[in-house]
Amino acid sequence: MMSMLPTLGEAYYVLEWIIRLAMLAVVPFRRNPAATTSWLLLIFFLPLPGLLLFLAIGAPRFPRWRTARFRQLQPFFERVAIRLEQAAPPAPDTPADISTLAERLGYLPATGGNAIELLEEYQTVVDRLIADIDRARSHVRILAYIFADDETGRNVIAALQRATQRGVACHVLFDPVGSRKWSKRLQRRLEEAGVAVRAALPFRLLRARTRRDMRNHRKLFLIDGEIGYAGSQNLVSRDFRPGVVNRELVARVEGPAVAAMNAVFLGDWYLETEDLLEPNPAIPESAASSTLQILPSGADYRLESFQALLTWQVGEARREVVIVTPYLIPDESLLTALRTAVLRGVDVRIIVSSVIDQWLVRLAQDSYYDELLRSGVRIHTYRDELLHAKNVRIDGRLGILGSSNVDIRSFQLNEEVSLLLLDPACIARLEEIQRRYLSHSDEITRAQWRQRGRLRKLAENGARLVSPLL
């Protein structure tokens, strides 16, 4: 008598189809079309491995406990915003449409009366930061994606230790994935130096995030609530990757905008510890005149703040758009905005790095070049160093620099922070820097780009399929 029980192979075949059909209903929920397509393709061809990967990193949302904790911070952000608006209103010629949207996205208003330096030299940033820490009187707060236990990191730790010995309260948040090579030694060294230290978004088995690779990618260094650094530079030696030398851009700020930077750090510290270090951060004064605004973004916020602002402003551009980013994986809305801007006669330029540190991301990035070049977008590749700086300039009305790349990861998965430049003098200084980038770059022509080999094109197309998952 033949057995009516299915064989192992038959059972696995049925299971695969159950997974495929079930995920048709699950995957599209609250995902963009590109991500939906990538996940469904993966699950169709590899149902069980695809399901396991989806369960690990498939949903770009934080769990309910963290969402509730972020809601508890809303009165804090509202208090900071009200005090900033009263103490340091922006200059009258500030673009109100930009500042209003940015405040609604990130809860923090534009402020006038700031002093800002744009620092291009890597070691200069480290030296200035250490000097500022050595002059600190009350507190030092550092948030970094990569905080390394290398020469650069140890020099910063030594400055923090000198500060704690003077009675200065020092707090450090670092990302355990970005700093994974050094995380255990780093935490031990910081604790031995008297620094209060926490890992940002740590993995906890019982209180896990829905997606394991959502990271805190912000870089903020704050001294006494009076000086703030924001930009792309981590606390690691500039050549920490063999054969790769990083080039960065960092803003050193004094004035009311530092209170907004401080609020972002205090919020992140509270999310990890439930300890609000300073319920009413001081608002520093400055005799300068720059108008700046802090725009945090990430899964805690209602919309993809940086993406929403960037896409809208590209769509509003009339003369010029310059985007500098090491990683370029745009979504369809930004691609459409860029193509449409060119049709309106806008000069659209994208500056990327010729030096590669992540091959799969680079292949996915390259897959967008042909359609961008075909539409008239000009692409320039920066020579010799990894141009890790992230900045944008649009029409002389808006400058942006910060931690956010122009890719889906920064748009939807990472916690990021951007500094908006809202006055002509600041934007002009950013323009000078971008022109130096262009003078050290090579422009890609469409004819040149189309000469690459078929295997290369195939690899790019494959990487593009998984780009929403990177």
Cβ count near 414 (within 10 Å): 25
Q: Write phi, then psi, for 442 (nearest 5 degrees).
A: -115, 135
Residue 204 has pLDDT above 70, yes or no: no
Whose tokens are 């534009």? That residue is 110
Q: What residues contact residue 442 under an 8 Å CB cut-off, 6+ apart?
A: 354, 380, 381, 383
Contact 140, 160 (CB under 8 A): yes
Q: pLDDT tens digits, residue range 380-403?
A: 999 989 999 999 999 999 999 999
**pLDDT score, position 287:** 85
Q: Which CATH number does 305-469 carry? A: 3.30.870.10
**pLDDT score, position 464:** 81
List every span in the chain annotated with CATH 3.30.870.10. 64-100+109-292, 305-469
Q: pLDDT tens digits, residue range 323-377?
A: 999 999 998 899 999 999 999 999 999 999 999 888 889 999 999 999 999 999 9
pLDDT band, very low/low/confident/very high, at 16 (cuts 50, 70, 90): confident
Least confident of 33-47, 141-155, 381-395, 415-429: 33-47
Q: pLDDT tens digits, residue range 125-181?
A: 999 999 999 999 999 999 999 999 999 999 999 999 999 999 999 999 999 999 999
Q: Which CATH architecture has domain 64-100+109-292?
A: 2-Layer Sandwich (3.30)
CA dist., res. 185 & res. 191, Å (int)? 10
pLDDT band, very low/low/confident/very high, at 75 (cuts 50, 70, 90): very high
Residue 393 DSSP one-character state? E
pLDDT band, very low/low/confident/very high, at 316 (cuts 50, 70, 90): very high
Closest CA to 405 of 393, 421, 420, 417: 417
Contact 423, 289 (CB under 8 A): yes
Task: Please state, for a pLDDT cut of 90, what percent of the chain lies above it.
Answer: 73
Whose tokens are 């498939």? That residue is 58
CA dist., res. 303 & res. 461, Å (int)? 29
Residue 408 has pLDDT above 60, yes or no: yes
**pLDDT score, position 7:** 81
The mean pLDDT value for 30-50 works out to 70
The mean pLDDT value for 30-46 works out to 69
29 versus 270: which is more confidently predicted? 270
Q: What is the distance, to the nearest Å, from the Cα of residue 363 to the centroid of all Cα atoms in its chain?
A: 20
Residue 299 DSSP one-character state? T
Q: pLDDT tens digits, residue range 85-135?
A: 999 999 999 999 999 999 999 999 999 999 999 999 999 999 999 999 999
